[in-house]
Amino acid sequence: MKLPIVDETTVEELDLPGRGLRWVVTNENTNAQHCTMCVIRVAPGQAVRPAHSHPNGEEVIYILSSSGRVMIDGVVEPVKAGCAVLFPQGSIHMLQNLGNEEMKVACFFAPPSDLSTYKFFEDITFPD
């Protein structure tokens, strides 16, 4: 039996607005039935764009490196390495790296998600 272990460096990185994204845990590569997980890299000063929500589920992010801020339904709070953040189902959210180093974030979704399940909000940005 092959164990469902995935080395993130073996997964293709998608170049998306404000971030690089690797889908590390999916049904296709681990047979996961109830969740998905990705890792994103956000360069200093960049924000994950556009603002978006997950109408069908929740997302939890865990900041692995750097610091910045999140916005959830218009409320902005600081985050740093070691912080976990819940994006409730349907909440409109964004993440920005305000640190001097690349921000690395693990993102967990339940039920399983992919970019096709996101709802995007091009007109919503971080306040100045």
Answer yes or no: pTM beyond 0.85.
yes
Q: Do residues 126 and 94 make contact, with C-beta atoms less than 8 angstroms apart? A: yes
**pLDDT tens digits, one per residue of 25-43:** 999 999 999 999 999 999 9
| Confidence at residue 43, expressed as pLDDT on a 0 to 100 scale | 98
Alpha-carbon distance 109 to 112, whole Å?
6
**pLDDT tens digits, one per residue of 61-88:** 999 999 999 999 999 999 999 999 999 9
Place of tokens 């890792």: 39
**DSSP string for residues in 7-54:** -GGGSPPEEETTEEEEEEE-HHHH--SS-EEEEEEE-TT-B-SSEEE-
1: pLDDT strictly greater than 70: no
Domains (ranges, CATH) in the chain?
34-121 (2.60.120.10)
Q: Which pair of tokens denotes residue 48?
A: 């994950």
